């Protein structure tokens, strides 16, 4: 049996298992003797069968989560939060959360801890999808050592895929509504977010394309802006979708330079329409959206810097989700990061010349006690005058640029550390980048890819507000659903 045939049979099996069981379950609660179930009428009703939407990408860091946020945001407003499901079938970055045992009268425990992918908590908390269980939203996690255990035969592939299917069915049941006659609502939808490109997870038999096929999902491919490179990456991922018999609902191009917006839309549409037609003349998938770049969404918050350096703010923790533009001075953007190499007087002049509300991330070495104390002093001077102070300071303890290790003197002096901590949570943001030189720290900050955080409400809201206007949701629904006329008798299934 060919791989495509096997995947097709898997998808058909899932459909046959899912739709009838859910509908029959709902019908079983209705009095079979009710006259409203008479099938004598020839009235019909059109219902929409919505397939799950699987958001995949051509590589890491191209905007899967941003697109998923936009989809969940739109559909919760369109259908209601209770009719929207979300899952990340295969996750990598994990955290522990508390799961309430709601509705489980057999359990004496109020809840239990579960380990989930971090994006699951972000989506569930932000959109208040309380009808979904954390465990169903994140059925498979791949922590360190998982791949070796899988290849050693300690993890069963069939059990792993069964966990994904079971979790998906639970989500569908949680988001499905029925009318009084037991007919399933047309207004439920499930968004599945992938991990990396279409092949990520293949080494453990759980690549994105394969999981999408198991769920009978239609894929939305997300790629970064450009022409040749974007199309090449899309083509590579499309081939894997074709291998598993997965339908591509459409393409979303992300982070497009505003001045190249029309060019990107026009030429990628031409490329896809001319080269992605089906073997029997089936139309190629459409561009569902072209999203212009917004630099703010790429600006790291202090929480991102903490994560990068595996550190915590010594002071200023109240400002953990304050964002800093650390990019180059292009398109009118100010330079938001500066390594301090001057004497104290010059550094203080720089601080005092900053306009109110200016945000600069300064970087210095731990041996520069004068700079550290000058930074704290300028904060206190402005605080006394009621003036805002939003700059941050990163203190590096690694070998200075071009020099050998500095030995014991590279550590931050305890007395200085105490003075920093005395500023408290509302003070100026200061953290330590252990083992890095100022140049190394600056490079890591400039090249990091900021990630969404469940507590960073501002970035999450800004992302959804930015993406939604550029995505054709009506076309997406048209591409991921089928319409069927069913016979009804006074509202009953024929």
Q: Which of 72, 32, 81 is nearest to 53 (CA)?
A: 72
184 is written with which tokens?
Answer: 């399933």
Provide the residue-wise pLDDT of the chain in tens; the chain has 494 residues. Answer: 444 444 544 454 454 445 444 434 433 333 433 333 333 444 556 666 899 999 999 988 888 999 999 999 999 999 999 999 999 999 888 888 888 876 555 556 788 889 999 999 999 999 999 999 999 999 999 988 888 999 999 988 999 999 999 999 999 999 876 545 555 556 789 999 998 777 788 888 888 999 999 999 999 999 998 899 999 999 999 999 999 999 999 999 999 999 999 999 999 999 999 999 877 778 899 999 999 988 777 788 999 999 999 999 999 999 999 999 886 433 444 458 899 999 999 999 999 988 877 889 999 999 999 999 999 999 999 999 999 999 999 999 997 554 444 444 478 999 999 999 999 999 999 999 999 999 999 999 988 878 787 778 888 998 999 999 999 999 999 999 987 665 554 444 33
| The pLDDT of residue 457 | 85
**Same domain assignment for residues 269 and 390:** no
| The pLDDT of residue 312 | 95
Within 10 angstroms of residue 334's Cβ, the number of other Cβ atoms is 11
Cβ proximity of 219 and 211 under 8 Å: no
**Same domain assignment for residues 390 and 279:** no
**Same domain assignment for residues 244 and 318:** no
| The pLDDT of residue 209 | 93
Most distant CA atoms of the chain, gap in Å: 92
Task: Label residue 394 exposed, middle or buried (CB < 10 Å: 0-12, 13-18, 19+).
Answer: buried
Cα separation, 165 vs 90, whole angstroms:
12
Residue 158: which domain range? 3-24+51-292+456-479
Whose structure tokens read 């007395």? Answer: 415
Within 10 angstroms of residue 188's Cβ, the number of other Cβ atoms is 22
Contacts of 70 (CB under 8 A, 6+ apart): 463, 464, 467, 468, 471
- Please check whether residue 35 lies inside any domain of the structure: no
**Same domain assignment for residues 357 and 460:** no
**Same domain assignment for residues 66 and 211:** yes
**Same domain assignment for residues 434 and 323:** yes
Beta strands in 118-264 (DSSP E): 140-141, 189-197, 218-224, 248-256
Cα separation, 371 vs 344, whole angstroms:
6
Domain end point (choices 447, 465, 489): 447
**Same domain assignment for residues 188 and 323:** no
Write down how long the chain is.
Answer: 494
Instruction: Give the chain's domain count.
Output: 2
Angle 13-17-21 from CA coordinates, rounded to 5° = 165
- Please check whether residue 30 lies inside any domain of the structure: no
pTM of the shown model: 0.77
| The pLDDT of residue 455 | 78
| The pLDDT of residue 24 | 41
- Please check whether residue 485 lies inside any domain of the structure: no
**Same domain assignment for residues 100 and 233:** yes
CATH of the domain at 221: 3.40.50.300
Cα separation, 259 vs 267, whole angstroms:
14
* Measured CA distances, 426 to 68, 315, 317 (Å): 34, 7, 7
- Please check whether residue 484 lies inside any domain of the structure: no
Quote the distance between the C-alpha of residue 377 and its chain's center: 40
Cα separation, 314 vs 425, whole angstroms:
8
| The pLDDT of residue 44 | 56
Give SS3 for 266: helix
Cα separation, 110 vs 98, whole angstroms:
10
Quote the distance between the C-alpha of residue 294 and its chain's center: 17
């Amino acid at each position: 049996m060919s791989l495509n045939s096997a995947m097709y049979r898997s998808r058909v099996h899932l459909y046959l298992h899912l739709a009838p069981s859910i509908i029959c379950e709902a019908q079983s609660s209705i009095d079979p003797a009710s006259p409203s179930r008479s099938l004598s009428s020839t009235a019909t009703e059109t219902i929409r069968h919505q397939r799950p939407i699987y958001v995949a990408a051509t590589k890491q860091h191209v905007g899967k989560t941003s697109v998923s946020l936009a989809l969940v945001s739109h559909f919760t407003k369109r259908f209601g939060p209770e009719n929207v499901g979300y899952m990340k079938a295969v996750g990598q970055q994990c955290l522990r959360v508390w799961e309430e045992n709601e509705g489980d009268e057999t359990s004496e425990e109020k809840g239990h801890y579960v380990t989930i992918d971090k994006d699951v908590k972000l989506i569930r908390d932000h959109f208040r999808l309380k009808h979904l269980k954390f465990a169903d939203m994140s059925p498979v996690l791949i922590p360190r050592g998982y791949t070796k255990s899988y290849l050693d035969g300690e993890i069963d592939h069939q059990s792993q895929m069964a966990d994904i299917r079971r979790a998906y069915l639970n989500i569908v049941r949680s988001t499905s509504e029925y009318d009084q006659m037991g007919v399933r609502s047309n207004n439920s939808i499930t968004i599945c977010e992938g991990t990396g490109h279409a092949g990520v997870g293949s080494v453990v038999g759980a690549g994105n394309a394969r999981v999408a096929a198991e769920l009978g999902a239609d894929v939305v491919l997300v790629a970064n802006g450009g022409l040749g490179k974007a199309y090449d990456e899309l083509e590579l991922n499309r081939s894997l979708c074709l291998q598993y018999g997965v339908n591509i609902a459409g393409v979303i191009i992300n982070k497009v330079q505003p001045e190249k917006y029309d060019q990107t839309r026009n030429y990628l549409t031409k490329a896809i329409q001319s080269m992605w037609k089906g073997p029997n003349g089936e139309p190629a998938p459409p561009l569902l959206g072209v999203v212009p770049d917004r630099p703010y969404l790429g600006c790291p918050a202090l929480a991102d810097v903490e994560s990068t350096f595996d550190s915590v703010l010594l002071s200023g923790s109240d400002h953990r989700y304050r964002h800093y533009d650390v990019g180059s001075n292009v398109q009118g953007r100010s330079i938001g990061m500066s390594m301090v190499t001057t004497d104290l007087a010059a550094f203080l002049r720089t601080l005092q010349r900053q306009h109110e509300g200016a945000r600069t991330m300064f970087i210095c070495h731990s041996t520069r006690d004068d700079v550290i104390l000058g930074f704290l002093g300028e904060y206190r001077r402005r605080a006394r005058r009621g003036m805002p102070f939003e700059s941050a300071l990163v203190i590096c303890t690694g070998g200075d640029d071009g020099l050998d290790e500095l030995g014991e003197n590279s550590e931050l002096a305890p007395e200085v550390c105490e003075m920093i901590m005395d500023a408290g949570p509302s003070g100026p943001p200061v953290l330590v980048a252990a083992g890095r030189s100022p140049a190394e720290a600056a490079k890591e900050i400039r090249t990091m890819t900021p990630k969404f955080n469940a507590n960073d409400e501002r970035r999450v809201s800004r992302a959804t507000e930015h993406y939604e206007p550029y995505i054709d949701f009506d076309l997406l629904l048209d591409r991921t659903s089928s319409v069927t006329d069913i016979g009804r008798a006074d509202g009953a299934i024929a």
